[in-house]
Structure 1
Amino acid sequence: MKPIDPRLLRYARATRLFMVAVVGLGMVGAALVIAQAMLIAEVVVGAFQHGLSAGELRTPLLLLVAVACGRALVSWLTELAAHRASAAVKSELRGRLLERAVALGPGWLSGQRTGSLVALATRGIDALDDYFSRYLPQLGLAVVVPVAVLARVVTEDWVSAAIIVGTLPLIPIFMVLIGWATQSRMDRQWQLLSRLSGHFLDVVAGLPTLKVFGRAKAQAESIKRITGEYRQATMRTLRIAFISSFALELLATLSVALVAVTIGMRLVHGEMDLYVGLVILVLAPEAYLPLRQVGAQYHAAAEGLAAAEEIFEVLETPVPTAGTAAVPAGASAGALTFEGVTVRYPGRSGDAVHEVSFAVEPGETVALVGPSGAGKSTLLNALLGFVAPAEGRVLVGGVDLAEADLGRWRSQVAWVPQRPHLFAGTIAENVRLARSEADDAAVRQALADAGALEFVDALPQGADTVLGEDGAGLSAGQRQRLALARAFLADRPVLLLDEPTAALDGATEAEVVAAVRRLAVGRTVLLVVHRPALLGVADRVVRLDESAVPMSAAPESAVLAEAGTAQDAPRAESRTERSSAADHPACEAAPAAGNRGLLARVRAMSGPRRGRLALALLLGSLALGSAVGL
C-alpha cells in the first residue's frame, strides 16, 4: 500500500486541500511540541535547581497551559478537517462510481454481482473513514514533527541527534516489511466480505424459492461457512496488527532509552546542562510517536484502501467510445435499420444474434417473433446502445448508432421492458420519470390512456400513493400499465416494447394490448412478441430463426434499464432493513430472564478459551507495568 494513493488525489479533489491542511496543522503542532518541551524544562529547572516559587514561575506555567490548549485545538482542527474531507471524498467517489456504472451500461453490470457492488459502494467506501481520520493526519505529523524535533535537538546535542537519526529510519523499514505481510491478507479479507455480501443478497432475494425447494438450511450453512472464513481472515490480520504494534513500540522504546541513557550519563558527570537534557528527554519520544502511530493506524486504513483498489478498477474500466453525430429529431428518427448485425457476449461460445438484417420505416409497427434465446431482446439492447454489434451496424434516422450521440438518441425513445422497474416513491413520480416537469393533469391523462386510471383512483391516495420497493403492492398487470403510462407521458417518436404482456392473465392482457394499440399511433414501434394477442397491433412481423442462434445466447433477463440498475444498491439495503425489522420484535420479546442468563452463556462460550483469556490478562498487566516502569 502506498502512503498516499495518487488516484485518490486524481478522483477526489477534496484530498488535495486536506493534505495541505494536514501539513499546515502538523507544522503548527510541531512548533507547539518544541515550545512545550522548552517550557517544561524551564519550569523544572527553575523549581528544582534555582528554587523559584510558583509566583516567579507564573509566566512559563501560564504559557505551558496555553501551549497545551493550543495542541488540543490543533488536534481538534485536524480531526474536523479529516472528517469533513472523508465525507466529501466518500460522496465524490460514490458519485463517480455511479456515473461510471451508468456509462458502462447494463452490458457491463449484468456481469457483476449485485451484492459485491453494494458492499463496494457502501461498506467499502465507508472504510475510507479510518484512512482520512486516522492514517493521513498521522502521516502528515510523521513528515513534519520528526524533522522539526531533530532540527531543535541538533542545535543542543549532536550525540542525541545522531542516535535519533540512526534509529528513526528503522521504524519505516519495519512498517514496510509488515505492510507487505498485511496487504495480501487485507485483500483476502475484503474479497471474502464481498463474496459474503453477494451470497447473502442472493439468498435473501431467492428466499421463497429456497423455502419451497427445501434448500434454505443448506444456504444458511453456506453463509455460516463463508462467515467463518471471513472471521478467520480478520483474526489473522489482527494478529499481524498486534505483533507489528508490539515490534514498533519496542523499537521506539529502546531508541528513546538509548537517548535517555546517554543523557543521564553525561548529566551525572556534569558534561551536560540540566535544561538541555530535559528538553531533549521530552522531545525524543515526540520524534518517534508520529511514526509509531502511522504504523498502528496502517491496519485501520488497510481495509479502506483494499476496497479503494476495486473502486479504482471500476473507475478505470474503459467506457465504450461515445459518438457525437446528431440524430434526426421527430418522425425521421423512427427509420431503424439493422444491417448484418451480429452480437457476441463476453464469455459466450457463440453469437447471441447472427447476421440479422431488416428495416423499420417511420410510423411502422414491427413485431419480432421467435423462440426464446433467439436474440429478440438482444436486438433491443443493441438498438438502445447497451451492447455494440461485433459485426454489422445499426442505423437510426440514417445515422450509424456507433457514431451517434447516444444521449440524444435515447431521449427520443420510450422503452417498456418485460419486467418494468418501479422505484420507491409515489405513482405520479414513477410516471413522471421521463418528464419530471409534467403537471398532474398530464399524469392523469397518461394513466387514462394506459388503462391504469381506474385502479389508481381506487387506491387510498390515488396517484400520490407511495409504492414499495419495485412496485410492491401492485400486480404484474398494474405495473405493466404504469410502465405504459410512463411511455404515454414521455411522448417520444420511437417506442420499444419487450414482451409487455408476458405473465399476464387474459383480461389484463387485453387491457394492455388496447393500451399498446393507442400508444403506437403515430410512432415507430418495435415489439418483441411471444403471445399472439399483440400480433394484431403489428403492421409487419419479422421472425428470428433459432437455427442461426446457439442455445448459449445471452438470456433476455440480462437486458437492464440503466436507471433500474443504478438503484440496485438502495434496493439491496432496503431488503436487508426489512429483514432486520422482521427479526427485531423477537429480540424485544425476549424475557428478562434471558438477560440474567447472558453472563452464564458468555462464560460457557469462553470456557474452551480460558487459557487465552488468562494469557491476555497477564500480558496486559505486564505491558502496563512496563509502561509505568519506563
Structure 2
Amino acid sequence: MAAGARHGALGSAIRGQWRRVSASAVLSALHQATEALVPVLIGLALDEAVTTGSLARFGSLIVALGAVFLGIALSFRYGARFGERASYLAAHELRMDLARRVLDHRGGAESGRLPGELVNIATNDAKRVGAANLVLPIGLAACCGLLVAAGALLRISPQLGSIVLLGTPLLLIVAHLLGKPLERRSDSEQERAAQASGTAADLVSGLRVLKGIGAVSAAVERYRDTSRNSLQATVRAAHAKAWHDGGMLVLTGVLIAVIALIGGRLAARGEISVGELVAAVGLAQFLLGPLQTFSFVNGELALARASAKRIDAVVGSRAAVQAEEAALPELLRGHLRVRDLTGGPLRGIGFEVGPGTLTGVVTGDPRVANALVDCLSREADPASGSIELDGRDITTLDIPQFRAAVLVAAHDADLFEGSLLDNVTAGEQRSGIEASLTASAADEVVRTLPEGADTALAERGRSLSGGQRQRVALARALAAEAPVLVLHDPTTAVDAVTETRIADGIRSVRSGRTTLLVATSPVLLAVTDSVVFLDDGAVATHDELLADERYRSVVLP
C-alpha cells in the first residue's frame, strides 16, 4: 500500500522531504536569528556614539549591521526556496499516492465518493498537506528567533528575558487550544466543498440526460442545497479562523506591551542604558513577527491535519476485491464456470459457458445483471460462491492479466478525448480494426464524420449521439480480441435495423472465442448458441425459451 497509508499523509509528506525541510529550517532560523540581532546592533551603535564618540567603532558596527542585513536577505531567499520546493514536491507525491490508490486494480477508493470529490482531495487537500513543509520550518525559525531575542533581553535585563521565556509557552498552549475548533471546522468545510464539487461534476456530465427528461430544475435545486451547505461550512470555518487569529493577535500585543512598559521603567530608573532601551523596544517589536508566525503556523497545521485525514481515508480505503498474483496459462480455452454466487441481489447464481461459445445471460432484474457483471469484471466479490476460468478460481489470478483475458464491456462505457480511431485502438497498434468497426456498425459513424476515423472527439465523446458512442465503445471491445468477452446491453441506444446488423457482426467477429451477452434484446439473443435464464435457472436456445411465459415477459415486453 502507498506510503501515505503506512505513515499518514502529513507524516509521509514531511518524511519524504526531510532534507529540504531541514535546509529550509536551518536557513529560516538563521534569518530569524540575524533579524533579532538588528535592534541589538543598533542599540550598541547608539551607546558607542553617545558614550565614546568613536567613529571607528561606530563605523564597524554599521558595517556589521550591513553584513547582518545581507545574511537576512540571503537566508530568507534560499530558506523560502527550499521550503516552497518541499511543499510542491510533497503535494505532488500525495497526488501520486492518491492516483495509485484510485487506479489500484482492486478498486474501493471510489466507493461512496463522487469523481469531483476525489479531484478536490487530490488538489486542495494535497496542497494544504504539502504546505506543512513550508510552514514547519517557519515555525521552527520563529522559535529560534524567540530564543535569540530572549537571550538578548536576558543580557539587557533578566526581568525582560524572563517575561519572554515564561510568556511564550503560555502563548503556544493558547494557540493550540484555539486551533482545535479551526481544525474541526476546516475538515467540515473541505468535506462540504468536495461534495459540492462532486455534485457539480455529476450534474454537468449528465446535463443532456437531465434536459431530456425535464429534470433540470430538480438538479439545480439539488446543487443549490449542496452549495448552500458548503457555503455555511466555509463561513463557520472563517469564523473559527477569525477567532483564532484575533485571539492570538490580542495576546501577542499584550505580551509586547508589557515588555515595552517594563523596559521603559528600567531605563527611567537608570538600570539600563539608552541603547539598551532602544534594543529592548526593538526586540519587543521584533517579537511581534515570531509570535504572529506561531498563530499563522498553528492555523496552517490545523488545516493540514484536517486535509491529511481526508487523504488517509482514500489512500487507506479497503479494497473492493481481494486477489492473489497467480499468472494465467499461456493458452486459454475460455471455459467459464459460475458456482452458487451469492451476495446483494445475487441468490445462488450458477451456470457454465463452454469455450468458444456465444452465450446469452438473461434476467428480469437489472440489479442482478449489474452485480453479475461486477463479479465477472472483478469490480466486486460475492459474499460466497466462485467464478472459475479454465478450472481456476479467478480470485487467485493476477487482476490485470485476468482483465486482459476476460474483457467486460459495460453498457455505459465512456469514450475519451482524441480521435475516434484512438478510442477504438486505445492507443495500441492492432490488426482487424476494420472488421471491428464493421461488426459494431461504427463504420457508419466514421462515414458521417468530417475527417473519418481521425476526427477528434469531444470530452467523453459528447460530440457523438448516444447510439454512436455505444457503437464506438463496442468496436473498442471487439478490437481488443480478448479470449473471453462479456458484453452488457451493448445495443440499448441503437435502432432495430442497426441492432440486427450488430448481432450478426458480433457472432461473426467472435467466432471461436468465448462471448457472454448479458442482455434482454431478442435480436442479440437470437444469434447466441444458448441462453441462461437466471430467473429460473433454465438453459436452452432463445427459440426454445420463448415458450416460457416468464422469459417472454422479460425479452418481449
Deviation at 1:298, TM superposition (A): 3.9
Aligned to 1:375: 368
Unmatched tracts of structure 2, length 5 or more: 1-6, 539-557
Do the aligned partners of 1:113 and 1:198 also contact (CA within 8 Å) in 2? Answer: yes
1:89 and 2:124 are equivalent in the alignment: no
SS of alignment partner, residue 342 of structure 1? strand
Cα separation, partners in 2 of 1:247 and 1:501, compared to 1, 3 Å: closer
Alpha-carbon distance in 2 for matches of 1:12, 1:263: 41
Q: What are the Cα deviations for residues 429-483 of structure 1, in whole angstroms up to 9, with x where unaligned?
A: 21222xx4416x7655643554434532552223321111221222334323322
Deviation at 1:141, TM superposition (A): 1.9
SS of alignment partner, residue 112 of structure 2? coil
Do the aligned partners of 1:329 and 1:412 also contact (CA within 8 Å) in 2? Answer: no
Alpha-carbon distance in 1 for matches of 2:357, 2:210: 45
Of 455, 463, 469, the match for 2:459: 469
Aligned to 2:517: 527
Of 369, 379, 385, the match for 2:378: 385
Superposed counterparts of 1:109-188, under 5 Å: 109=110, 111-128=112-129, 131-133=132-134, 135-188=135-188
1:487 and 2:477 are equivalent in the alignment: yes
Alpha-carbon distance in 1 for matches of 2:219, 2:437: 43
Of 532, 535, 552, the match for 1:542: 532
Aligned to 1:508: 498
Unmatched tracts of structure 1, length 5 or more: 345-351, 549-630
User: Could you state the TM-score of these two structures normalised by the residue count of structure 2?
Assistant: 0.85
Alpha-carbon distance in 1 for matches of 2:186, 2:456: 43
The one-letter code sitting in structure 2 at the alignment partner of 1:87 is Y
Q: What are the Cα deviations for residues 385-435 of structure 1, in whole angstroms up to 9, with x where unaligned?
A: 1111111111122221222211221122333221221011222221222xx
Cα separation, partners in 2 of 1:497 and 1:298, compared to 1, 3 Å: same
The one-letter code sitting in structure 2 at the alignment partner of 1:377 is N
Of 508, 531, 539, the match for 1:518: 508
Deviation at 1:151, TM superposition (A): 4.1
Q: What are the Cα deviations for residues 533-570 of structure 1, in whole angstroms up to 9, with x where unaligned?
A: 1223322211101799xxxxxxxxxxxxxxxxxxxxxx
Deviation at 1:255, TM superposition (A): 2.1
Aligned to 2:419: 426
**270-279 vs 22-31, which moves further:** 270-279
Aligned to 1:19: 21
Alpha-carbon distance in 1 for matches of 2:408, 2:14: 35
Deviation at 1:61, TM superposition (A): 2.7
Alpha-carbon distance in 1 for matches of 2:107, 2:536: 24
1:28 and 2:30 are equivalent in the alignment: yes
Do the aligned partners of 1:142 and 1:291 also contact (CA within 8 Å) in 2? Answer: yes
SS of alignment partner, residue 366 of structure 2? coil
User: Could you state the TM-score of these two structures normalised by the residue count of structure 1?
Assistant: 0.76
Of 401, 404, 408, the match for 1:415: 408
The one-letter code sitting in structure 1 at the alignment partner of 2:259 is V
Alpha-carbon distance in 2 for matches of 1:42, 1:534: 95
Deviation at 1:6, TM superposition (A): 5.3
Deviation at 1:31, TM superposition (A): 3.3
SS of alignment partner, residue 362 of structure 1? coil
SS of alignment partner, residue 322 of structure 1? coil
Alpha-carbon distance in 2 for matches of 1:213, 1:492: 37
Cα separation, partners in 2 of 1:110 and 1:278, compared to 1, 3 Å: closer
Identical columns (%): 29
Aligned to 2:545: none
Aligned to 1:328: 329
Deviation at 1:517, TM superposition (A): 1.4
Cα separation, partners in 2 of 1:226 and 1:502, compared to 1, 3 Å: closer
SS of alignment partner, residue 501 of structure 1? coil
Aligned to 1:43: 45
Aligned to 1:612: none
Alpha-carbon distance in 2 for matches of 1:300, 1:11: 15
The one-letter code sitting in structure 2 at the alignment partner of 1:136 is L
Alpha-carbon distance in 2 for matches of 1:457, 1:207: 27
- What is the total number of aligned residue pairs between the two structures? 531
Cα separation, partners in 2 of 1:182 and 1:377, compared to 1, 3 Å: closer
Q: What are the Cα deviations for residues 558-598 of structure 1, in whole angstroms up to 9, with x where unaligned?
A: xxxxxxxxxxxxxxxxxxxxxxxxxxxxxxxxxxxxxxxxx
Q: CA RMSD in A?
A: 3.1
SS of alignment partner, residue 526 of structure 2? helix
Cα separation, partners in 2 of 1:418 and 1:241, compared to 1, 3 Å: closer
Deviation at 1:371, TM superposition (A): 0.8
